[in-house]
Structure 1
Amino acid sequence: MTALPIVETQSGDVSAYIPTNVISITDGQIFLSADLFNAGIRPAINDAQMKAMKQVAGKSKLELAQIASDLDKATQNQKRSTIT
C-alpha cells in the first residue's frame, strides 16, 4: 500500500503535532517551500535538511558505525539473507 499524505504547515513549522506524527510514520518526506515557489523555482522542493535533523542524523551515523566495528569477525563475515 502506498500513501502520499500532504500536510500544510503554518509558516513552515514542521514541529507541530500533526506534521511530526506524519513524519514519524512515513519513510521519507518532501518539503515544499512557498518562498521557493514565489521565487519562480518549480518544483519548489526544499532539499536542505533542517539543522536539528543534521545533528541527529550525524550522531546516529556515528553510533551505527561504531556498532558495526564492534561486531566480532564471524558476525561481520555473515552474509545477509535474502527473501526469495
Structure 2
Amino acid sequence: MSEADLKSEPKAENMSEMAENFKKGVLIIAMLLLFVATFQLYFSIEKIIDTWFQYQYASIFKAVYYLFVLVVSLYIIRLYILKR
C-alpha cells in the first residue's frame, strides 16, 4: 500500500462518521418536533371538544378521547417491546 492510500482511509472513515452523526442529529430534532406537535394536537383536541359539544356532554367525549389515546399509546408501547 502506498502512503497516499493510508492517508485517505482515515479521512473516509471520518466522513462516514460525520454523516452518521448528522443523520442522528436530524433524527433527534425530528423526534423533538414530533413530541411538541403531539402535545399541541392533544391539547387542541381538548379545546375542540369543549367548543363543539355542550358542557354536559364534553366530559363524555373527553373520556372517549382519553381512552382512545390510552389504547393507541399502549399499542405503540407493545409494538416497541415486541421488537426487542
TM over 0.5: no
Larger radius of gyration: 2
Higher helix share: 2
TM-score by length of 1: 0.30
